[in-house]
Structure formats: C-alpha cells, structure tokens
Amino acid sequence: MNPVLEVQDLSQDFGGLRALNELSLTVNSGEIVALIGPNGAGKTTFFNCVTGIYTPTEGKMFLYDREGSPKLLNGKKPHVITAMGMARTFQNIRLFSDMTVLENVMIGRHCRTRAGILGAVMRDGRTRREEQESIDASYALLELVRLQDMWNETARNLPYGA
C-alpha cells in the first residue's frame, strides 16, 4: 500500500503542557483510519497540527502527492495544505442557509477554483467554464451521497440528517 499521510514523532507543547508526545502514524491509500480517545487526549491538537493551524513543537508531517512523492507539511499555512489536497471539517457545520444545497457544496470546492475577483467581475469564457466545471463536480458529489434531488433546495429547509 502507498502512504497518503505520514507523521513522524509529532509533539506539541503548550507552555509546560505536552499535548502530543512523539506520535507517529501512517495512513495508506484506501485505508479508513480513526483517531479515538477521551476529551483532552490530543485528537484536535493532532488535526490542528497536520492541517497547519498549529506549528508542532517537534516532528515531521508529510502528505503524499498522486505520484507518491512526500511533501513536507511543517510550516505550511492551512490554505496551502488544503490546496495540496488535505482539508478538515469541524463538528459544528455552518451552512449558508439562504443558499441552495448545490451552492453550499460549490463553496466547499472554492479552494479548487482559480478565478479571482477580476474573473468574477469580467465573467470571461475561462471563468464561465470553470464555474460550470464546479457546478458539475458539485452535483456529482451530491449524487455520490444521494442528495441530487435536493440540489435546488435552500439549505435551511433540510434537516441535518438529510
């Protein structure tokens, strides 16, 4: 199996408190991995380190690209790590309640688009094509989770369990 994420001897200190102590793990392609533990065990601290929210005290973290080459995560900003292909979600979801289900998914894909402010204002062909690609990819994600029939429903009208 090929690694996707590799963490080596990760430690995180907050003043005199060590929240993570030499944690090492490898997540391979195709694996589903869970990190479990009681409150205060360091789970959120771990995720904050690998997603660039915290800079770890010690250790190295690597995200492997599609070709299998390791890319060092240490010192990278969260938006850079997201662009590399790894992002996190939070337990408390925040939907844009006045927007449609499809539009909410499209916002989640924003980090995959390139059009800037000028493109949004000028609406050139490239920007329109990129927007259509985002619509198509977002709809495909809705199909994957069987919510395609709700694509045009405003988010506030959906139960959280939908």
Among candidates 93, 95, 49, which has minimal Cα distance to 74? 49
Co-location of 80 and 8 in the same domain? yes
Q: What is the pLDDT of residues 60-96, one digit of tens each?
A: 999 999 899 999 999 999 999 998 988 887 776 778 8
User: d(Cα 43, Cα 37) in Å, to the nearest integer?
Assistant: 7
DSSP 133: H
pTM of the model: 0.69
Co-location of 9 and 68 in the same domain? yes
Among candidates 50, 59, 44, 63, which has minimal Cα distance to 6? 63
Segments in the chain below pLDDT 70: 92, 160-162
User: d(Cα 57, Cα 115) in Å, to the nearest integer?
Assistant: 36
The reply to whether 46 falls in a domain is yes
User: d(Cα 34, Cα 30) in Å, to the nearest integer?
Assistant: 13
Residue 12 sits in a domain whose CATH number is: 3.40.50.300
Do 78 and 53 form a contact (C-beta atoms < 8 A)?
yes
Task: Please give the pLDDT value at position 162.
Answer: 47
Q: Whole domain around residue 79: which residue ranges?
A: 3-84
Torsion sign across C-alpha atoms 33, 26, 92, 107: negative
Co-location of 111 and 59 in the same domain? no
User: d(Cα 38, Cα 18) in Å, to the nearest integer?
Assistant: 16
Do 72 and 10 form a contact (C-beta atoms < 8 A)?
no
